[in-house]
Amino acid sequence: MSKTGVKVKLTTGRTLRQGVSMEVGKLSPEYFEAVAVCELDKTTFSVLDIEEGDPVRVETIEGSVIVRSKLDRRAEPGVAFIPCGPYANMIMNADTEMTGMPRFKEMEAIIFAAKDETILSIEELME
């Protein structure tokens, strides 16, 4: 793992691809491809010296997860996005602050290049 990290505000949300693939099945290859991803801006790609599709480690106070990097040409520097699903759940704070819903937006995270690391399957992630 690279020692160079980029601090970001991590946000999660639904995507069309995530929603459609969820209907196929949450253990399907389509769902894995839709949710095991972190969308980043081009500056973050440059700082981390990665190419689209390279694995990245996303770390928060709650834990870390390895996902595939994806370039979002509209993304602002300092913001990262992971679709709702098991990979996002591994690093999000479950505290609902008495609202009944966890915060899915603006969680502090650090992104690292993880070229030599493997993205766990959904089954492996759940073990």
**Domain residue spans in the chain?**
5-126
Name the class of domain 5-126: mainly beta
The rounded distance, in Å, linking the Cα atoms of 87 and 85 is 6
Which one-letter DSSP state was computed for residue 67?
A: E
Q: Which residues, 6 or more positions from 74, have their beta carbon under 8 angstroms from its beta carbon?
A: none
pLDDT number for residue 92: 83
Can you tell me the mean pLDDT for 57-77? 95
Q: What is the per-residue pLDDT for 19?
A: 72
- pTM of the full predicted structure? 0.87
Instruction: Decide if pLDDT at 65 tops 70.
Output: yes
**Predicted confidence band of residue 87 (pLDDT cuts 50, 70, 90):** very high
pLDDT band at 7 (very low <50, low <70, confident <90, very high): very high
